[in-house]
Structure 1
């Protein structure tokens, strides 16, 4: 009897120690870290407090159903590496995608929420017009919701739901022709979130040009789909501004990070500032004060149209 109790206590102690090494992170609808009150998802980072080459990330819906799981090369953000599986809240498989150091590369599969196979394809890397590396999806086979095959061996017609395929939350849907697995010719689409329509021209999967029309009939030319907001003077100047103007509280008791989020609106002004990871009340309030003082951004663009974007700002502090 004593031996059984001993092993039970030992098992409980080991299990408790394992849980202590894990970390829970609360996420909003865009999978950006937020407060527990604002969470839409949450993430468990296994062995967060240990030094490892990779960390197992498991993300959950608020219902505690698994949303996605896979390894990350960084314990503080999901730098995906290897096979990542995602799921609908009903438990059905949503996608299986392979990553290398955060980039989608290699085979992938997608399903509809009702369990019907949607797509089989593969990602490969290219350099875009901004001289940045991005992943391009080659579509080998595609089925509609009624299980009718619309693309076979890289040829056919395709409906691109950017929310599902590109991990986007901008609600754009477009349709057009696929040749050799890639977008080709004219594509027509619309965006419910920002209330615009668009027409784009592609050659071998690369966007050549596009024209969007907003809800007022104003037209915009573009050759890049999404442009992130940027501080005037550049990101380095912004960080230097924060470092120069942030007054660390004298009574700071612990070292760590204050993480603040805010919205850069379509006019380039900062709104909706809030603390999403608190370190100490005085440190949190000072982060909000100094960010408000800057308030000068170039707004982000969605298909040439100025839109609101969420921005996250971490500030590392060391207690003395």
Structure 2
């Protein structure tokens, strides 16, 4: 007599119960798991139909959403090799460590994102596998594009041009034409730097001291010259920020659900002002509650203003700005 029979347990019924338990557990897990989804993009990152895709992105899209959340793998259509490995937060914005690859399979870049910007260590490589540079990104500032320190830099043949923050540095456009070159000291730009358009024409000449821009002169796309002591000029409402904030405050309707529980705080909205002065995109960057988030977005949508486009070295440029909307009782 078996041990199961000794205790009056029917072996057939026991097996049936175990298989039922396994089936329902598997079903439960499968129902909770989100199915993988595929999106198609062209070389500029614009979503397109499958037949026009340069690369595909594969990941999880939560129910009722149209964006990825969690880990996503991108692959080139041409050879199925990995293009990038990314992570997206619950709002669909990129976060954490990102690794990018060239179409030949060689690693291209590895960096970390914080609040939508590169922050901390950054490493890049050439298409032949040779390391290009090692740098560190500091707190992002819209006032200048030089928000990093470069420590080591090599040319594509492996010759080290800068070591421990001192030496020569060459920066490239995406097609590997020269974008800028000059000297660095303690990781920062130093002395005279020259910048170039992708066609090789001179874009700017700048002078630096201890990493700070002293003066610059650019040749704009219309061939006119522009002198400056600050690289970037941020977009601004034509009525001014003070009047814009005043109108937003007047338009606020405090959500009843938040007022009922005494909820106070700030919703941060990120928005893009295009190089033509148009609002191109906006979303909640930092949430307070669903109703407060929706109210902040409603205010932003229903208080439209005309914008003065931002510039970089005198040329029009798109910028991502942040609008804090405070809820106080």
Q: What TM-score, normalized to structure 1?
A: 0.60
Partner-residue secondary structure (3-state), 1:43: strand
Distance of aligned partners of 1:135 and 1:306 in 2 relative to their CA distance in 1, 3 Å threshold? closer
Question: Can you list the C-alpha shifts for 1:251-308, whole angstroms capped at 9, x where unaligned?
Answer: xxxxxxxxxxx99565x589xx9xxxxxxxxxxxxxxxxx9xx89543342321236x
Partner of 2:219: 213
Distance of aligned partners of 1:225 and 1:36 in 2 relative to their CA distance in 1, 3 Å threshold? farther
Distance of aligned partners of 1:101 and 1:187 in 2 relative to their CA distance in 1, 3 Å threshold? same
Gaps of 5+ in 2: 1-21, 252-271, 281-300, 321-329
1:192 positional shift = 2.2
1:225 positional shift = 3.9
Partner-residue secondary structure (3-state), 1:125: coil
1:120 positional shift = 1.9
* 1:182/1:204 contact within 8 Å kept: yes
1:96 and 1:204 mapped to 2: Cα distance?
27
Superposed CA RMSD in Å reads 4.8
Partner of 2:137: 123
Partner of 1:247: none
1:161 positional shift = 2.1
Q: Does 1:90 align with 2:104?
A: yes
1:227 positional shift = 5.2
Q: Does 1:100 align with 2:110?
A: no
Q: Work out which of the residue numbers 50, 74, 77 in structure 2 matches 1:59.
A: 74
Distance of aligned partners of 1:36 and 1:141 in 2 relative to their CA distance in 1, 3 Å threshold? same
Q: Does 1:70 align with 2:70?
A: no
Q: Is 91-100 or 144-153 further displaced after alignment?
A: 91-100
2:28 and 2:146 mapped to 1: Cα distance?
45
> May I ask how many residue pairs the two structures share in their alignment?
254
Distance of aligned partners of 1:163 and 1:178 in 2 relative to their CA distance in 1, 3 Å threshold? same
Q: Work out which of the residue numbers 27, 30, 34 in structure 1 matches 2:47.
A: 34
* 2:142/2:234 contact within 8 Å kept: no
Bigger Cα Rg: 2
Q: What TM-score, normalized to structure 2?
A: 0.58
Gaps of 5+ in 1: 1-6, 166-170, 245-261, 274-290, 312-320
* 1:264/1:310 contact within 8 Å kept: yes
1:160 and 1:59 mapped to 2: Cα distance?
26
1:234 positional shift = 7.2
1:138 positional shift = 1.7
